[in-house]
């Protein structure tokens, strides 16, 4: 494939794009994720891809890869069931790859689930290189998972790795999918924010929303969560404690089923809270592990918030 491959990671708050001529990032771009629906998202993805390509200097656009939350049909280039993305919440597939291709003048576009492609990037080029069996856990607006088994991505019928919708507490908190007690209801940043607003309305004090407003952010971003914790905000600390507990339950269950070599934790919140957060999750897992003397290696991402975009570029190449 001649020319430069661009990978685009579509998140709940931002779209990250990278230009990847070989194994190194040559240019990158970040644009806010629009909340106005499908057409606005297509335009933002195209803008991010063009800007990253321009930042790389010289070279034409060979292909684009997209990582997108939801149920992805990679062959058809469609996405459905993405509850945190306006315009994509329903089960009706949206032909996003075709629409982005048209916006970019017909360049080939390949699409995969956002966490699947991020894990692919970390496995091929990053933290997961030494391992054949690993799980990637992306803790951001929602919670996603991606599996590498026997050195290859495992996608099942297209929805494998939906870790965020594992049950951790029957009849527990409301999840973004409309059901209760899922991991995402406790560890997804969007649902954590919803819980914080609910508790604030009942009189619990927090600086989360004041910090977000001060930064001009419409949502409570990962950096806001980190600052609130560092400043001793009790509500923020409690909700992150809940996230650690829920992740420990869910990841121990996955480990007991699959006996993985490694677990990579990333995503906006996972990367921002860093190694101390990862270590706390590992500690929460340990009492639940069937083979507690042989826990999986717990790893931070190598590419941090670029993992998804790098993986999307790898997807487009492969």
Is pLDDT above 90 for 21? Answer: no
The answer to whether the CB of 233 falls within 8 A of the CB of 208 is yes
In this prediction, residues 83-91 reach a mean pLDDT of: 84
Give the pLDDT of residue 237: 98
Residues 222 and 285 in one domain: yes
Residues 134 and 262 in one domain: yes
**Strand 262-266 relative to strand 297-300, pairing:** parallel
Q: What is the spatial distance between Cα 204 and Cα 200, in angstroms, rounded to a whole number?
A: 5
Residues 68 and 160 in one domain: no
Residues 25 and 170 in one domain: no
DSSP-derived secondary structure letter, 174: B
Chain CA centroid to CA 286, Å: 24
Is pLDDT above 70 for 312? Answer: yes
Give the pLDDT of residue 157: 77
With respect to residue 124, please indicate whether it lies within any of the assigned structural domains: no
Residues 243 and 274 in one domain: yes
Residues 152 and 81 in one domain: no
CATH code of the domain containing 137: 3.30.420.40
Nearest to 97 by CA among 83, 85, 84, 113: 113
In this prediction, residues 269-292 reach a mean pLDDT of: 96
Residues 114 and 134 in one domain: no
Residues 33 and 134 in one domain: no
Residues 96 and 137 in one domain: no
Number of domains in the chain: 2
Residues 96 and 213 in one domain: no
pTM of the model: 0.85
Calculate what percentage of the chain has a pLDDT beyond 70.
99
Residues 115 and 8 in one domain: yes
Q: What is the spatial distance between Cα 83 and Cα 176, in angstroms, rounded to a whole number?
A: 6
Residues 149 and 297 in one domain: yes
Q: Which residues constitute the domain of residue 224?
A: 130-301
With respect to residue 125, please indicate whether it lies within any of the assigned structural domains: no
Is pLDDT above 70 for 2? Answer: no
């Amino acid at each position: 494939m001649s020319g430069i491959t661009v990978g685009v990671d579509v998140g709940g708050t931002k779209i990250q794009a990278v230009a990847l001529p070989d194994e190194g990032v040559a240019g990158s771009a970040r644009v806010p994720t629009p909340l106005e629906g499908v057409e606005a998202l297509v335009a933002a993805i195209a803008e991010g891809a063009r800007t990253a390509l321009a930042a790389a200097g010289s070279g034409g656009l060979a292909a684009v890869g997209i990582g997108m939350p939801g149920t992805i049909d990679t062959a058809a280039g469609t996405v459905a069931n993405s509850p945190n993305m306006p315009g994509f919440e329903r089960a009706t597939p949206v032909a996003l790859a075709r629409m982005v291709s048209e916006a970019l003048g017909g360049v080939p576009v390949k699409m995969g689930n956002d966490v699947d492609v991020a894990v692919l990037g970390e496995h091929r080029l990053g933290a997961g290189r030494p391992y054949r069996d690993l799980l990637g856990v992306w803790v951001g607006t929602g919670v996603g998972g991606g599996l590498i088994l026997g050195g290859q991505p495992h996608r099942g019928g297209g929805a494998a790795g939906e870790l965020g919708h594992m049950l951790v507490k029957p009849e527990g908190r409301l999840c973004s999918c409309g059901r209760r007690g899922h991991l995402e209801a406790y560890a997804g940043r969007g649902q954590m924010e919803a819980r914080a607003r609910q508790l604030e309305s009942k009189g619990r004090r927090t600086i989360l929303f004041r910090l977000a407003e001060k930064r001009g952010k419409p949502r409570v971003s990962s950096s806001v969560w980190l600052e609130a914790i560092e400043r001793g905000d009790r509500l923020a600390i409690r909700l992150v404690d809940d996230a650690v507990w829920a992740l420990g339950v869910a990841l121990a269950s996955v480990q007991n089923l699959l006996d993985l070599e490694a677990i990579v934790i990333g995503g906006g919140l996972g990367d921002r809270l860093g190694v101390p957060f990862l270590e706390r999750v590992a500690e929460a897992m340990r009492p639940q592990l069937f083979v507690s003397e042989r826990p999986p290696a717990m790893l931070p991402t190598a590419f941090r918030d670029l993992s998804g975009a790098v993986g999307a570029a790898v997807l487009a190449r492969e």
